[in-house]
Amino acid sequence: MFYISNGKGFKMTFANGWTVSVQFGGYNYCQHYDRPAGAGYHGPSKDAEIAAFDKNGNWYDFGDDTVKGYVSADDVLTFMNQIAGM
């Protein structure tokens, strides 16, 4: 399943019930953190904020937080593959 997140990112739910969130707009931990949310910016970003949660709403733990910011495209893909394989 695919979802658009407030016009500044997306979510994907995998067959295993886990959902990955990839956000790269204003106030997300990415290149555009300092842009006001909802400012209408739709340009590229060199990095993104990621998170994941299971069908029961339990968040993936990165060890120090439930979100991880300033993640490269290659590392986003690695994370998505990890979550899809859980």
What are the tens digits of pLDDT across the range 70-83?
999 999 999 999 99
Tokens 């970003």 -> residue: 45
**pLDDT given for residue 26 in this prediction:** 85
The pTM of this model reads 0.91
**19-23 sheet: strands from edge to edge:** 2-4, 9-13, 19-23, 48-53, 68-71
pLDDT in tens, 3-59: 998 888 999 999 999 999 999 988 899 998 888 766 666 678 999 999 999 999 999
Sort residue 16 into left (φ over 0), alpha (ψ -120 to 50) or beta. alpha
